[in-house]
Amino acid sequence: MELKLFYSKDWHAYELLDTGVGEKLERFGQYTFVRPFEDAVWPKTLPETEWAKADGKFWSSKTGAQKGWKMQGKIDEKWEMSYNGVKFLASPTPFRHLGFFPEQASHWDFIESELRAEEKNRKEPIKFLNLFGYTGVASLFALRTGAEVTHVDASSSSLKWAKENQEITGMGNLPMRIIEDDVIKFLEREEKRGNKYDAVIMDPPKFGRGPKGEVWKIEEMLPKLLAQVKKVLSDKPIFVILTSYAIDSSPLSLGYALEDMMKPARNASSIADAGGDFPGKVEQGELCVFEKSKERIIPLANTAVWKAK
């Protein structure tokens, strides 16, 4: 299996300006920030004077400093960003992120292009499912194609943010279900209801808790998650996207897991338990962003994509 680099050069509101010595310097709209990037085991390209101009820096507890953001001057609590015509809000969070992951832009493009191409062949609206959906940027790109979107996350604050994003981009009247729930429990209920989905994207965390204290550990739960997702796929699914920031091993691991998921289970006790065999192709690799200072590609997450033939 080959590895692919997934990245977009269409960013205008965001730039990765420089990396080095365990950090990255980024521009999010009108603000620049320094965030930890432990994989940057090389020197910085830009001079320290440029890094010192950043509006804020997130300090990791690994450095011995007090963990969290330290701002240089006043910044807006939230400000508007956009990518290829979709608007959404950015804001520094306690977890070093700013409300979205720029490296996922290539997936946003893929989602929109695949759904638009497929809608011509379907009489009914395409049903799109975003699991661990966070603030919903991927959901908005699906929503813009006319798909019926279901967006699931266990965090009430992330879901509130997703609703804000839906409103500011002008899609507040379009059909997007925003659901606060434990993902596994949600999928089990959807299976019982007979609800099916044509396209799925999921970005499971390393560790988390559901609304009722349900514990999520990716090492234990990922096989169960994939098995449960398969049970809610339609007869002719379009694609399934799996991304992980939590698995440090090769993206081949995600590719193998997704490939096995889309085939009948070998140890099933019945045909019904085995599930369908979905003919398609899996691509796996790394989600990346383009670094301006050295004009090179920087990998930030592992991903795998199954697409129907």
Question: CA–CA distance from 142 to each of 111, 148, 155 (Å)?
Answer: 6, 8, 21
Domains of the chain: 3-77 (2.60.40.1180), 102-290+302-308 (3.40.50.150)
Place of tokens 């015509």: 85
Separation between Cα atoms, residue 36 and residue 95, nearest integer Å: 11
Using DSSP's 3-state secondary structure scheme, residue 11 falls into coil
pLDDT in tens, the chain (309 residues): 789 999 998 999 999 999 999 999 999 999 999 999 999 999 999 999 999 999 999 998 766 678 899 999 899 999 999 999 999 999 999 989 999 999 999 999 999 999 999 998 888 999 999 999 999 999 999 999 999 999 999 999 999 999 999 999 999 999 999 999 999 999 999 999 999 999 999 998 776 666 666 666 677 788 999 999 999 999 999 999 999 987 667 899 999 999 999 987 655 443 344 456 899 999 999 999 999 999 999 999 999 999 998
Per the structure block, which two tokens stand in for 274? Answer: 């085995």
CB 244 within 8 A of CB 256: no
Do 283 and 303 meet the contact criterion of CB atoms below 8 Å apart? Answer: no
Structure confidence at residue 247 (pLDDT): 67
pTM of the model: 0.92
Residue (of 202, 215, 213) closest to 247 by Cα position: 202
CA distance 181 to 190: 12
Instruction: For the beta carbon of residue 255, count every other beta carbon within 10 angstroms.
Output: 24
Cβ proximity of 25 and 18 under 8 Å: yes
Distance CA 258, CA 76 (A): 40
